[in-house]
């Protein structure tokens, strides 16, 4: 007598494999979220490095809109995506549209001076940050908190 698998046995095996696949997929970390967090962190650090490298003693050239574009950043997804240098031969990184950035202090724009210090909205001395700027990056059920420290401008990722 010839032995073979029945259709029900094959369906049950496929169903079990599918359940195992879904459970394994859900337990793996989402690499896109962590890439988004690192991308946002690097864009902020890039603005700080531009400010540190800027000729701070050139007072004639100092406070125009081009200068502010170099040393200030709006902390929102659209601006961070648009700040990417446009090059037709190079593919740009795009943050997931479901990613949300929320800043606890309410100020969306931060700037850096030639010493790397952090300012809210613009580079006026009364806007110098004296407490850490906290903001959360959220996507689906994952959240990462970033802190920008006053004076030094150091960016920390909290767990």
DSSP 51: H
pLDDT at residue 18 in the model: 95
Please state the domain count of the chain.
1
- What pLDDT is attached to residue 64? 59
Q: Which strands form 118-120's sheet, in the order they lie side by side?
A: 72-74, 109-112, 118-120
Q: Record the tokens describing residue 48, joined without a space.
A: 């700080």
Structural domain contains residue 1: no
Q: What is the pLDDT at residue 13?
A: 94
Half-sphere exposure in the Cβ direction for 80 (13 Å, CA): 25
Residue 14 lies in a domain: no
In a domain, 18, yes or no: no
Strands (E), 95-141: 100-103, 109-112, 118-120, 133-139
pLDDT of residue 58: 53
**How many Å from the N-terminal Cα to the C-terminal Cα in the chain?**
63
Spell out the per-residue pLDDT of the chain, length 159, in tens. Answer: 667 888 999 999 999 999 999 998 888 776 788 888 888 888 888 888 888 877 555 544 445 566 677 788 888 777 777 655 555 556 678 888 888 888 876 668 888 888 888 888 888 888 888 888 888 888 888 888 989 898 888 888 876
| Nearest Cα to Cα of residue 111 among 125, 131, 99, 101 | 125
Q: Is residue 136 part of a domain?
A: yes
Boundaries of domain holding 53: 30-83+94-158
Q: Could you tell me if residue 22 is inside a domain?
A: no
Q: Judge whether 153 lies within some domain.
A: yes
């Amino acid at each position: 007598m010839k032995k073979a698998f029945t259709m029900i046995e094959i369906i049950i095996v496929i169903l079990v494999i599918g359940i195992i696949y879904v459970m394994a997929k859900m337990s793996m970390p989402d690499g896109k979220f962590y890439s988004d967090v690192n991308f946002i962190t690097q864009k902020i650090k890039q603005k700080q490095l531009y400010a540190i490298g800027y000729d701070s003693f050139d007072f004639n050239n100092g406070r125009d809109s081009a200068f502010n574009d170099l040393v200030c950043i709006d902390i929102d997804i659209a601006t961070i995506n648009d700040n990417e240098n446009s090059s037709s031969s190079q593919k740009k990184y795009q943050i997931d549209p479901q990613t949300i950035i929320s800043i606890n202090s309410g100020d969306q724009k931060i700037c850096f001076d030639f010493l790397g210090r952090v300012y809210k909205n613009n580079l006026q001395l009364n806007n110098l940050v004296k407490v850490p700027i906290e903001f959360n990056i959220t996507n689906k059920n994952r959240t990462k908190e970033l802190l920008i420290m006053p004076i030094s401008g150091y960016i920390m990722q909290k767990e």
